[in-house]
């Protein structure tokens, strides 16, 4: 977080954690939005989108809070967006995938959409594009925005990133068979988007929820 605070504003979405996440983030200098109870990964990401639009950011970068995304890779994503104003989305391509289902997801996505790792938590978004893109997604926000970007012929760039050892938390997909099944269900939704679901509204638009103001 310290590396990121040196180059940009950091927003921490505390999704009902029971530890000192919010306090430590605020003490470090980040803005924080805290949920009293867990709402899930995709709702947290959408909250970040809303915050970025409301505050008129140019670029939004999402990164997982488990320590697996390095400051240098986040900087690389930012530099990639800055260097080409036509780029709507940057997707970090992980150097290793842990599950069989992730390999299947990656292979299918590369073949159908031309994007290698849509499940990656490290992505950079051109905020002016977010409002329109988010109109076409409901659940699985990050992955379906990849599908929407491809279908709407937005410019996407991929960058290689290194997966660091996890320092906190657990995978959002869980472990063992349950995690594999969650990813396979997400893959079905993702591929269904290619058949025509993206391009007609299927999810809520980004709204400015004044109740969810960050703590500074």
Round to whole Å and give the CA distance between 101 and 107: 10
Round to whole Å and give the CA distance between 130 and 177: 33
- Tens digits of per-residue pLDDT, 37-75? 888 888 888 889 889 989 999 999 999 888 899 999 999
Identify the structural domains of the chain with CATH numbers, from first to last: 2-197 (3.90.550.10)
Residue 194 DSSP symbol: I
Instruction: Scan for tokens 């409002």, then name that residue.
Output: 131
Q: Cβ distance 129 to 196 under 8 Å? A: no
Closest CA to 108 of 29, 47, 188: 188
- Residue 176, pLDDT > 70, answer no
Q: Spell out the residues 6+ positions from residue 213 whose beta carbon is closer than 8 angstroms to its own.
A: 33
- Tens digits of per-residue pLDDT, 119-132? 999 999 999 988 77
Q: DSSP letter string over 123-189? A: EEEEHHHHHHHHTT-SSSHHHHHHHHHHHTT-EEEEEEE--PPP-SS--TT-SHHHHHHHHHHHHHH
SS3 101: helix
Closest CA to 82 of 126, 129, 142, 145: 126
- Residue 214, pLDDT > 70, answer no
- Tens digits of per-residue pLDDT, 116-166? 999 999 999 999 988 777 666 556 678 888 988 998 899 999 999 999 988
Query: What tokens appear for 146 in the block?
Result: 């990849």
Round to whole Å and give the CA distance between 205 and 216: 26
Q: What angle do CA 34, 37, 42 make, to 5 degrees?
A: 75
What's this model's pTM, rounded to 2 decimal places?
Answer: 0.84
In terms of Cβ atoms closer than 10 Å to its own Cβ (0-12, 13-18, 19+), residue 39 is middle
- Tens digits of per-residue pLDDT, 1-41? 788 888 889 999 998 888 888 999 999 999 999 988 888 88
């Amino acid at each position: 977080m310290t590396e990121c605070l040196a180059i940009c504003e950091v927003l921490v979405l505390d999704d009902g954690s029971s530890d000192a996440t919010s306090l430590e983030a605020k003490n470090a200098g980040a803005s924080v939005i805290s949920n009293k109870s867990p709402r899930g990964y995709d709702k947290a990401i959408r909250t970040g989108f809303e915050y970025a639009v409301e505050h008129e950011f140019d670029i939004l970068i999402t990164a997982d809070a488990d320590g697996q995304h390095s400051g240098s890779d986040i900087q690389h994503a930012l530099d990639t967006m800055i260097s080409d104003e036509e780029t709507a989305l940057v997707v970090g391509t992980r150097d290793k995938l842990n599950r069989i289902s992730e390999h299947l997801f990656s292979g299918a996505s590369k073949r159908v959409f031309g994007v290698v790792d849509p499940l990656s938590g490290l992505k950079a978004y051109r905020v002016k594009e977010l409002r329109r893109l988010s109109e076409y997604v409901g659940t699985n926000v990050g992955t379906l925005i990849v599908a929407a970007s491809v279908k709407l012929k937005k410019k996407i760039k991929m960058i290689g990133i290194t997966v660091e050892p996890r320092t906190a938390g657990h995978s959002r997909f869980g472990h063992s068979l349950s995690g594999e099944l969650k990813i396979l269900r997400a893959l079905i939704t993702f591929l269904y988007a290619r058949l025509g679901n993206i391009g007609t509204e299927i999810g809520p638009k980004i709204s400015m929820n004044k109740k969810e103001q960050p703590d500074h």
